[in-house]
Amino acid sequence: MAQIGYSKKVMEHFMNPRNVGVIENPDGYGKVGNPVCGDVMEIFISVKDDIITDIKFRTFGCGSAIATSSMVTELAKGKHVDEAMKITRGDVATELEGLPAQKMHCSNLAADALHEAIKDYKKKKENKEKGGEKQ
Amino acid sequence: MKRIYLDHASSMPVDPRVVTFATPYLGEQHGNPSSLHSVGLEAKQAVEDARGKVAALINAENDNTIIFTGGATEANNLAVRGTALRNINTGKVVVASAIEHMSVLNPMKDLQKNGFTFTMIPVDTTGLLDLKKLESTLSKNTTVTSVMYANNEIGTIEPIREISTIVHEKGLYLHVDTTAAAGRIPVDVQKDGIDLLTLSSNDLYGPQGAGALYVKPGVKLQAVLFGGGQERGFRSGTENVFAIAGMGEAARIAKAEMQQESERLIPIRDKLIVELLTIDQSFLTGHPTKRLPHHVSVRFSHIEGESILLNMDMYNIQVSTGSACSSKTLEPSHVLLAIGLKHEEAHGSMVCTLGRSTIMEDVPVVRKAAGETVERLRKLSPLSNEWRK
């Protein structure tokens, strides 16, 4: 039977999103989307010894945009950054028991935002190490 | 939680009196109006009675001006394609307001494949048609001009009599979609000067699956659906007797009760608008006074309409939105863009269409739910600074 509307899991994450908010001075920050398209997501991470110890998000967008953001923070929390880098849009959708077909692309940007945050972390770390060598 | 249904523009419950009236046509009186035996004649009589009631609602010249269709979308397609193709020798230009329903705009776009030129007339920020632009656009090559009586998304009522004067001074046909307006404000094809008019059954508290096109005597039209020649050849296919009989009864009730119901709804509408606009960074969409009696449309900055809709549903309040995310095309409402909203502004729209079940006591409940919804979504949104509070 075709799925009508959102799954219960999507609605549960939409109504009770995990890890909402901001981290001041995060170790990594990623932002994707654009308000014109109707979806903007940002993810903040704190990292210790390459493990994501804290993660927060804020999202402007539809129900699935909010639910996927919430889900990706749950999947990434406590993971090694290299492991978290492997989380895909498909993983997020699967964990949410599926998304309506037309939502798979536009509103499933949360994994991208996570990847951006991890890249930002790695860049900062690299810069720090380079800075350290100079001393 | 009590259900507060504020999406009457999308679908309405069928009036219980209509259900009682039309139900026999699903059972005992199941005849085909084209059959000559007594069961068929009963069905034929039901369709003709309905034709008279629908004609009376819009003060049509005679009952034969009414063609029953499968709904307003089909009536709009018949009006646009039927006049354009029938009058192709007089010109190949079709004209519509930028805020018409897709069932007017898309058939006009499609006519471009047949060599027609399609011109859209802009509206101002309240949704009123640019009459000067209309006047300068119309030419003897225009076959049909379509302007809705009132808009379903922003509630704005167009100055149809002025528009009709402009169109008729050029000797052209005016088609008016009254899906949102009929049964809520008086529509009179003779006083308003309307050549073709679309009606929807469900928008009158009638069953889904019926609509009608009024065609003024003398207007040249051709069929879009071909077959057995029902509806004087303009709409082939066995009549949906149940839905048509119900539409007729719904039209009769609407004519009798419209004024009283509008007078009841207008204070509720106005109170709801005032209350919703007390929410920080909320704005009315559409016209402040030239507005349908049951129509409330607003937008909230920094949040997205589908989320608003889902969150309001958690309070058992059903609303609608012009946000892209809730549409099949993933484009924001063309109506909201036509009144000059930016994409990100159009995403935050919320439309409440009131109905017979709506009472003044609903207003504070809706205001509270909307306030909490907006606050919650803004806390989630990177576009606002709510989280800092």
Digit-coded pLDDT (tens) for B222-248: 999 999 999 999 999 999 999 999 999
Chain A CB contacts of B342 below 8 Å: 36
- For the segment A26-44, the average pLDDT, to the nearest whole number, is 91
pLDDT over 70 at A100, yes or no: yes
Tens digit of each residue's pLDDT (9 = 90 or more) over B157-184? 999 999 999 999 999 999 999 999 999 9
Where in the sequence numbering do the catalytic residues of B fall? 325
Residue B197 has pLDDT above 90, yes or no: yes
Is residue A37 flagged as an active site residue?
yes
Asked if residue A96 has pLDDT above 90, the reply is yes
- Please say if the pLDDT value at position A135 is more than 50: no
Cβ contact A37–B343 (<8 Å): yes
ipTM: 0.90
Tell me, yes or no, whether A38 lies in a domain: yes
Confidence (pLDDT) at B236: 97
- Region A5-34: mean pLDDT is 94
Residues of A in contact with B313 (CB under 8 A): none
A67 close to B (CB below 8 A)? no
Tell me which chain A residues have a C-beta less than 8 angstroms from the C-beta of B306.
62-63
Options 1.20.140.10, 3.40.50.300, 3.40.50.720, 3.40.640.10; CATH of B16-254: 3.40.640.10
What digits encode the pLDDT tens for the residues B73-109? 999 999 999 999 999 999 999 999 999 999 999 999 9
Q: What is the mean pLDDT of residues A95-124?
A: 89
Q: Which class would CATH give B4-10+258-388? A: alpha beta
Question: Do the domain assignments include residue A132?
Answer: no
Of B323, B330, B380, which has the smallest distance from its Cβ to A20's Cβ? B380
A42 closest CB neighbour out of B311, B323, B382: B382
**Which residue in this structure is represented by tokens 């046509």?**
B25
**Taking CB atoms and an 8 Å limit, are B387 and A22 in contact across chains?**
yes
* Alpha-carbon gap: A135 to the closest alpha carbon of chain B (Å): 38
Q: Evaluate if residue B132 carries a pLDDT over 70.
A: yes
Q: How far apart are CA B346 and CA B154, in angstroms?
A: 12
Assess B285–A contact: CB distance below 8 Å, yes or no: no
Report chain A residues whose CB lies below 8 A from the CB of B344: 35-36, 38
Domain that holds residue A21: 8-125
CATH of residue A45: 3.90.1010.10
Contacts of B323 in chain A (CB under 8 A): 38, 62
| Residue A54 within a domain | yes
Domain ranges of chain B: 4-10+258-388, 16-254
pTM equals 0.94
* Residue A1 forms part of a structural domain: no
pLDDT tens figures, B306-356: 999 999 999 999 999 987 666 666 678 999 999 999 998 999 999 999 999
Query: Could you tell me if A78 lies within 8 Å of chain B, comparing CB atoms?
Result: no
Among A62, A68, A70, pick the best mutation site for testing chain B contact (most B Cβ within 10 A): A62
- Of B66, B26, B49, B33, the closest CA to residue B230 belongs to B33
Report the chain A residue with the minimal C-alpha distance to residue B312.
A15
Q: Is B321 on the interface with A (CB under 8 A)?
A: no
pLDDT of residue A36: 79
A11: nearest CA in chain B?
B310
> For chain A, what percent of residues have pLDDT higher than 70?
93
Question: For position A34, what pLDDT does the model report?
Answer: 84
What mean pLDDT comes out for the span B30-40? 95
- Total domain count for chain A? 1
| Contact call for A62 and B380, based on CB within 8 A | no
Contact at CB, A17 and B379, closer than 8 angstroms: no
A131 in a structural domain: no
| Nearest residue to B183 (alpha-carbon basis) of B173, B171, B195, B197 | B197
Q: B320 and chain A: CB distance < 8 Å anywhere?
A: no
CB spacing of B332 vs A15 below 8 angstroms:
no
A positions 86-125 inside 8 Å of B (CB): 102-103, 106-107
Are A62 and B304 a contacting pair at CB < 8 A? Answer: yes
Query: Is A78 inside a domain boundary?
Result: yes
> What is the nearest CA distance from B340 to chain A, expressed in angstroms?
14
Instruction: Provide the pLDDT for residue A3.
Output: 63
Please check whether residue B381 touches A, CB under 8 A. yes
CB contact under 8 Å between B314 and A15, yes or no, is: yes
**SS (HEC) of chain B:** CCCEECECCCCCCCCHHHHHHHHHHHCCCCCCCCCCCHHHHHHHHHHHHHHHHHHHHCCCCCHHHEEEECCHHHHHHHHHHHHHHHCCCCCCEEEEECCCCHHHHHHHHHHHHHCCEEEEECECCCCCECHHHHHHHCCCCEEEEECCCECCCCCEECCHHHHHHHHHHCCCCEEEECCCCCCCCCCCHHHHCCCEEEEECHHHCCCCCCEEEEECCCCCCCCCCCCCCCHHHCCCCCCCHHHHHHHHHHHHHHHHHHHHHHHHHHHHHHHHHHHHCCCCCEEECCCCCCECCCEEEEEECCCCHHHHHHHHHCCCEECECCCHHHCCCCCCCHHHHHCCCCHHHHCCEEEEECCCCCCCCHHHHHHHHHHHHHHHHHHHCCCCCHHHC
pLDDT band at A134 (very low <50, low <70, confident <90, very high): low
B284 and A CB contact within 8 Å: no
Contact assignment for B325 to A61 by CB distance below 8 Å: yes
Compare all CA atoms of chain A with the CA of B342 and give the residue at the minimum distance.
Answer: A36
Q: How far is A55 from chain B (nearest CA, A)?
A: 14
Query: Using 50, 70 and 90 to split pLDDT, how confident is the model at A108?
Result: confident
Q: Residue B122 pLDDT > 70, yes or no?
A: yes
Q: Which pLDDT belongs to residue B173?
A: 97
